[in-house]
Chain A
Amino acid sequence: MTVLQFTAGYVPSIAHEDLAWHTLTYGAGDTRLEVKVPLLTPAQILAVSQHIKSAVRTHIKTMAVSDIVRAIDVAILRLLDVNHEDRKRIDTLLPIATGMDANMLRHHFSEYLQTFRALQLHRFIAEDFSNPKMLDEFQPRITGGWTKAVGADLVTHIWAGNVPGLPLWSLISGLLVKAGTVGKVSSAEPICASIFAKVLADVEPRLADCLSIIWWPTEDVDISSYLFQQSDIVLAYGGNSALSAIQNQVPVTTRFLPHGHKLSFGMVSTSALSVVRAKRVASQAALDIARYEQQGCYSPQMFYVERGAQVSPQEFAQSLASELAALAHKYPRASLSLEEASHIASWRESHEFAMLQNSGIQVLGDKQDAFVVVYSDAPLSLNPSPLNRCVTVVAVDSLLDVMPLLKDQRPYLQTTGLATDPETLLQLGEALALAGVTRICAIGEMTSPAAGWHHDGRFSLADLVNMVDIETSTEEAANQLTHYEL
């Protein structure tokens, strides 16, 4: 048996030997992984917060946004180089930590990193700030007065481990607005954020003291509430019960930005259901399902397919099953815990029993297959699947009929993967927007949100700053107070 070791976390202000370290273990079979994560005392939390706040003033807040973008770009470029030691470490460790297929991870991680190159980052900023220079200095407003976007001194990020590399989104967002960062990695994936922080510090020493990556056990509320008191913003990903526990510890004066449970789905219109097109859409849909094993908030759990085209919804379901079967060879499904396996088996079986009762339900594939496609001829409300490549395909007469089926899940809706013609695109977009969906994209792109997307309908960067206004009256009053006479 091989046991790999990795030291996660990044705490530049405290010596390695002065920190307590907790070991997380991963993997089954021949290759195991032990990851050490730093555990801070309340006094160390205070020291780290103060150190970051003062470093932020001296360094990141004095840098131009363009300089920060350049630094991130260099760091990302290093991680895109599959021959670089830092990237190799990610490629070796992630499959063990997540149980996901190494090839799928490697391929998708590069695509993901591509989102954070300089060109995309500039666009990301422009998305939230009409004039990006307002992050650097006061900018004149068209209506009079001046405005500056001032990033928080300290943002605490609590990351989930469902999607590898997920921390980069909020971490980079924080850097772009010149905020200080304390990030708590998830026990499920403590690797990417730790490596990125070290690479960034290496390529731009001015940023080295502006962030820290740590860990603490969720039940240790002393640490979290202490840290939240030092923070201007707490940004957290996770299940709703975890978020609600966090929310209870966040002081009223600290901004809380939760990213909770979400539910995403696909819709396929008749225009995409010719023999040739349907196969292509099914193949893209299968990729959306297989990527990250549906653990992402944007991963599809159901597909609504329109009747009346050359390819019927049932045939589409079969085609999707074949694509998933093929993908299972290319990118094997992640290893399942007993609970996950049991959950999938009973989900599958409950649909098999529905099949026996002639309810228009059909279960595709064998029990042993590394996926489950359930087809329903009758309309079904949007419902979550047990994930790990389990999906329901529902036939509908018209995609507009889907909207009432979304009603119960309104607070959870996020992404819709949509295959339709230009004529109906905006009409369906309007209907989905009213239903509560916040992101619409092509099928095949569901797990790759565009740079500058509005995550859960919010502003990734603008939520992390305070807009500081100098009103016209101040300028007018100043003009009365010149040292020279007019």
Chain B
Amino acid sequence: MANNASVIEDEVMAFIQMKASDDAAFNAMALRLFKHQAQFNVPFQRFCQMRGKTPRTVTHWFDIPAVPINAFKDLDLTCTPTSQCGRVFMTSGTTRGDVKGRHYHPSLRVYDASVRLNFERQLMSQKSKIRIGILFPTVDMMPNSSLAHYLQLALAHFGTPNSQYFMEPSGLDIEALAQVLQQAEKNHEPIALLGASYSMVHAMDALIASGLNFKLPTMSWLFDTGGFKGQSREIEMDSFYTQLSNTFGVPRSQCFNMYGMTELSTQLYDAGNSSTPSVKRGPHWIRTRVIDPISGQDMPKGERGILVHTDLANYNSVTTLLTEDVGIATDDGFILLGRAQGAQAKGCSLAVEDFLQAARV
């Protein structure tokens, strides 16, 4: 059978453009994609055989084998040959030396639609456009970063014409940022600042060092994503949002955190960070389970487990991903608790995590 990639793509487009979907529709679409991926994504096919899970035996999306995100480092997980994939997003490669995970996209039609629809619903409920300031490199500076692409898309679709980047190849342009924020304050023009969590820290530190803080107009909001990744000082989440709120004069309820991964095509958002940790929610085309990593079964409600996402916008790679993130399931989403650190060695037996730490020194 030929690789009917464009048919699949159209079906997924139609699915995510629906207002909502019920369990049956989600399941049907997930199984449709599983069949497609188990047929055309060769390493995934072997993985499914090894797990004894094939389209003939899997009747519910729960049973689709979850691919650990590390597999994106070793294998080309794609249905369309990599040579025919227009874009590849790469992970920053922080956890395993220089080996980067690669996520191939034949086109970004579905990816972009997923970003836009979801961004609009989660962040743009009050206005159709807002002045956007981006504290992250441009796509030109980071062509393989999915976040750079995401932010460019946000700016292009939801930014007023005076929106701009505050990132130079040499680093944050704090003077320009301060100027724009002062202007926004004066003109009572709401502004949205978007960036990686660590770039928000750099910005705060630089503004505080210059003795600056702001009271941005009502309806302004802040957006951070990705955590600190050793790129800035590590701050406990609660004090991070308090500091953000104090520096920019934006209430914590208007400080949004996005949870995304290079290996996904859909993002999850919280509804502000008045209190932390916040609940993350996604649109109808992604579902998250919280599992016991050994048995693969769902954890009882309220207990910590590892996150598994089934993202139907991932039509070309694999829908179902086993992350290294720890969370707790809630009725309509999950509380993100952070990355599972390797088992803390209790004594003098050398365990992998310590070994890696030792090797890094």
A residues adjacent to B (C-beta < 8 A): 160-163, 166, 186, 188, 237-241, 259-263, 294-297, 299, 301, 336-347, 349-350, 352-357, 367-368, 383-388, 412
Chain B hits for A163, CB < 8 A: 347
Which residue of the partner chain, among B294, B306, B343, B347, contacts A367 with CB atoms under 8 Å? B294
Residues from chain A with Cβ under 8 Å of B251 in the complex: none
A261 near B70: Cβ-Cβ < 8 Å: no
Which residues of B (341-361) have their CB < 8 Å from a CB of A?
Answer: 341-355, 357-358
B295 CB contacts on chain A under 8 angstroms: 367-368
Query: Considering the chains assembled together, what is the distance between the CA atoms of A20 and B173 in angstroms?
Result: 53
| Complex Cα gap A297–B348 (Å) | 5
* Cβ-defined contact, B340 with A339, below 8 A: yes
Any A CB within 8 A of the CB of B46: yes
Q: Is there an interface contact between A162 and B50, defined as CB atoms closer than 8 Å?
A: no
Contacts of A354 in B (CB 8 A): 74
A346 and B348: CB pair below 8 A?
Answer: no
Q: Are A162 and B349 within 8 A (Cβ)?
A: yes
- Name 14 interchain pairs, CB-CB below 8 A, sorted by A: A160-B346, A162-B345, A163-B347, A341-B293, A345-B68, A346-B70, A347-B352, A349-B70, A349-B322, A353-B47, A354-B74, A356-B50, A357-B75, A388-B343
User: Total contacts A to B, CB within 8 angstroms?
Assistant: 145
Which residues of chain B have C-beta atoms less than 8 A from A346's C-beta?
68, 70, 293, 324
**Contact call B350/A263, Cβ cutoff below 8 A:** yes
Q: CB distance A338 to B347 under 8 Å?
A: no
B100 to chain A, nearest CB (A): 15
Given contacts A186-B346, A262-B349, 4 further A-B contacts (CB under 8 A): A349-B70, A384-B351, A387-B349, A387-B351
| A188–B343 CB distance below 8 A | no
User: Is B296 interfacial (CB 8 A cutoff)?
Assistant: yes
Measured CA separation A263–B352 after assembly (Å): 11
Contact partner, A338, options B46, B296, B306, B355, Cβ 8 Å? B306
Q: Which of B122-136 contact A (CB under 8 A)?
A: none
Nearest Cβ on chain B to A368's Cβ, whole angstroms? 6
Which residues on B are within 8 Å of A, measured CB to CB? Answer: 43, 46-47, 50-51, 68, 70-71, 74-75, 292-296, 304-306, 322, 324, 326, 340-355, 357-358
CA distance A161 to B347 in the complex (A): 6
Q: How distant is the Cα of A297 from the Cα of B329 in the complex, in angstroms?
A: 37
Give the Cβ gap from A245 to chain B, nearest Cβ, in Å.
14
> Which A residues touch B343, using CB under 8 A?
337, 339-340, 343, 386-388
Establish whether residues B349 and A295, one from each chain, have CB atoms under 8 Å apart when the complex forms. Answer: yes
Q: Contacting B294 at CB < 8 Å: which of A241, A341, A352?
A: A341
Could you tell me if A386 and B352 are in contact, using CB atoms closer than 8 angstroms? yes
The reply to whether B349 and A386 form a contact with Cβ atoms under 8 Å apart is: no
Shortest CB distance B166–A (Å): 37
Query: Contacts of A356 on B, CB cut-off 8 Å?
Result: 43, 46-47, 50, 75
CB distance from B288 to the nearest CB of A (A): 16
Which interface residue of B68, B305, B346, B358 has the most chain A CB atoms within 10 A? B346
Contacts of A345 in B (CB 8 A): 68, 293-294, 306, 322
Q: A161-B346, A294-B349, A346-B324 are in contact. Are A353 and B70 (CB under 8 A)?
A: yes
Q: Is the CB of B71 within 8 A of A353?
A: yes
B165, chain A: closest CB distance, angstroms: 36
Asked if B294 and A412 sit within 8 Å, CB to CB, the answer is no
Q: Which residue of A lies closest to B347 (CB)?
A: A162
Least CB distance from B296 to A in Å reads 7
- Establish whether residues B46 and A295, one from each chain, have CB atoms under 8 Å apart when the complex forms: no
Residues of A within 8 A of B47 (CB): 352-353, 356
Give every chain A residue within 8 A of B292 (Cβ-Cβ).
Answer: 341
CA distance A259 to B349 in the complex (A): 10
Is there contact, CB below 8 Å, between A342 and B306?
A: yes
Inter-chain contact A261/B293, CB cutoff 8 Å: no
Question: In whole angstroms, what is the CA distance A368 to B296 when docked?
Answer: 9
Considering residues B293, B295, B296, B306, which has the most beta carbons from chain A within 10 angstroms of its beta carbon?
B293
Give the shortest distance, in Å, between B344 (CB) and chain A (any CB): 7
Q: A162-B346, A261-B354, A386-B343 are known contacts. Are A338 and B75 too (CB-CB below 8 A)?
A: no
**Residues of chain A with a CB closer than 8 A to B357's CB:** 241
Q: Which residues of A contact B322 (CB under 8 A)?
A: 345, 349
Quick one: closest B residue to A163, CB to CB? B347
- Across the interface, B353 reaches (CB within 8 A) one of A238, A262, A343, namely A343
Do residues A343 and B347 form an inter-chain contact, with CB atoms below 8 A?
Answer: no
- A388 to chain B: which residues have CB within 8 Å? 343
Given A261-B358, A383-B355, residue A367 in contact with residue B296 (CB < 8 A): yes
User: How far, in whole Å, are A2 and B182 apart by their CA atoms in the complex?
Assistant: 62
State the CA gap A66–B37 with chains docked (Å).
75
The 6 closest A-B pairs by CB, nearest first: A162-B347, A160-B347, A345-B293, A340-B343, A297-B348, A261-B350
Shortest beta-carbon distance, B335 to chain A, in Å?
Answer: 14
Question: In the complex the two chains form, is A261's CB within 8 Å of B349's CB?
Answer: yes
Q: Are B296 and A299 in contact (CB under 8 A)?
A: no
* Interface contact B348-A238, CB-CB below 8 Å: yes
B349 touches A338 (CB 8 A): no
Chain A residues, CB < 8 A from B342: 339, 343, 386
Q: Given the complex of chains A and B, what is the CA–CA distance between A426 and B357 in angstroms?
A: 35
Give the shortest distance, in Å, between B43 (CB) and chain A (any CB). 6
Nearest residue (CB) in B for A344 is: B294
Q: How many Å from the CB of A239 to the closest CB on chain B?
A: 5
Closest chain A CB from B76 CB (angstroms) = 11
| A383 / chain B contacts, CB cutoff of 8 Å | 352, 355
Measured between alpha carbons, how far is A357 from B342 in the docked complex, in Å? 25
Contact of A355 with B351 in the complex, beta carbons under 8 Å: no
Shortest C-beta distance, B286 to chain A (Å), equals: 21
- Which of B70, B294, B304, B344 makes the CB contact (< 8 A) with A350? B70
Among B74, B304, B306, B347, find the residue whose CB has the most chain A CB atoms closer than 10 A: B347
Give CA–CA (A239, B305) in the complex, Å: 26
Nearest CB on B from A188, distance (A):
5
- Which of A166, A241, A260, A384 has most B Cβ within 10 Å? A384
Q: Count chain A CB atoms within 10 A of each CB in B294, B322, B341 and give the residue with the most.
A: B294
Contact B68 A349 (CB under 8 A): yes
How far, in whole Å, are A295 and B354 apart by their CA atoms in the complex? 13
**A321–B305 alpha-carbon span in the complex (Å):** 27
The answer to whether B348 and A239 touch across the interface, beta carbons within 8 angstroms, is yes
Whether the pair A338, B326 counts as a contact (CB closer than 8 A) is yes
